[in-house]
Amino acid sequence: MSDSRIVDIYQGASEKKEDTFKSNLESKLHVQTDYEKVIKDTEWIDIMEQTVPYIDNIFRNPNRFIINEEEIVKIERARRITVESIKNLSKNTNFIQEVDKKTGDVKPSKILNIDKEESYDTYENRLIYTLIQNMKFFLSQKKKTLEQFADAGSKNDKFFDYQGTSRMGQEKINMNLSLSAKTEDENDKTEKENPDDVLERIAKLEVKISDLTTSAVYKVIEKKHITLVREPIKKTNVVLKNVNFQYAMKLWSYLRENMDDKTSKTDEKKNYDDEGDLKGLMDDSFFLNYLIMNTIDKDKEDEVENEEKKQETQNIIINKMLEKVISMDTDISMQDLKNMVGEKYAVIKYRNQASLQEIQNIFTKHINKYLEKIKM
């Protein structure tokens, strides 16, 4: 049956018929629901995955500086004689052991030795080292929570039982309906088979972070057992202007502000008798189903339809007659009108052979007679 046919059936029912059905209606709707949903906090995985390449860039081109280690050593231990060594010797002549008068060569006993060494122990590198420690701790905490809900799925099961009884004339109508719906957790099944599953993504992220710890810069700083950088962060030129550091600082801020885990589980069960909109909809559905059922009884449908048309015709005729009488004599009382109609009521009632037109003619004749009387 098409949707338009159902609409026609519903719209074809009189308002009186619907009112009668619903005034005699007694119904009950029992509802049960079982809802369970786990909302996993995975935003941090996206942010870390996006930031790791920028941290890798920092370690590939690390910030460094030159350390000059100056020391007065015996001449035989000196590794390199520089301009600074000669200048220092000229200021400290007591380091001169002897001077060759013929050649002018000077032989010192001691001299200034300068060792130049590149160092990765900069504030910026210590900052990134601290960030990696924060990432490792943050990841371990989030991973524990997600592992607790690894097997948790989603559930949205619904059940209701509707029982309704109504009466239309001599006809008693009953309806019993039980309906249930269960949600199969296809999303979780797909997720477990997907290589990009949350726990697998975390495992891959752990490998990437571990790779960062194998860099030369990380190892040098780790050996120094430095004190981790704390807030507030120094806004050096490198931190402010280097793109790689800009992304690293966004991650730093995110980890600081989102340490609390947002993974949550909602578990809600309900068991109640509904008296609201849902029951109202089921009552409407009951009436509609009754109308649909009546389409299989064509004779009854025609009988009802003819009865409704007959009633409608009678109402139209009576309304027109009454309007005409009242328009001619606005002072007519209810009792006069009853007496006028009552004179011929018995005759019309028992004239079973009279047609509708004959009844109308008799009614009209007496109405006209009365009108002539009041004009005199």
- pLDDT (tens digit, 9 = 90+) per residue, 300-356? 555 556 666 667 767 777 777 777 667 766 777 777 767 766 665 655 665 544 455
Q: pTM of whole model > 0.75?
A: no
CB 251 within 8 A of CB 51: yes
Q: What is the pLDDT of residues 115-130, one digit of tens each?
A: 666 778 889 999 999 9
What are the distances in angstroms from CA 94 to CA 81, 83, 108, 110? 18, 18, 9, 9
For residue 198, the model assigns a pLDDT of 86
- pLDDT surpasses 90 at 77: no
- pLDDT surpasses 70 at 61: yes
- pLDDT surpasses 70 at 141: yes
For residue 329, the model assigns a pLDDT of 66
- pLDDT surpasses 70 at 182: yes
Selection from 272, 311, 329 nearest residue 158 by Cα: 272
Averaged pLDDT score across all residues of the chain: 80
**193 band by pLDDT with thresholds 50, 70 and 90:** very low
- pLDDT surpasses 80 at 85: no
Alpha-carbon 223 to chain mean position: 48
Q: What is the pLDDT of residues 268-302, one digit of tens each?
A: 899 999 999 999 999 999 988 888 888 776 555 55
Tell me the mean pLDDT in the region 151-170. 87
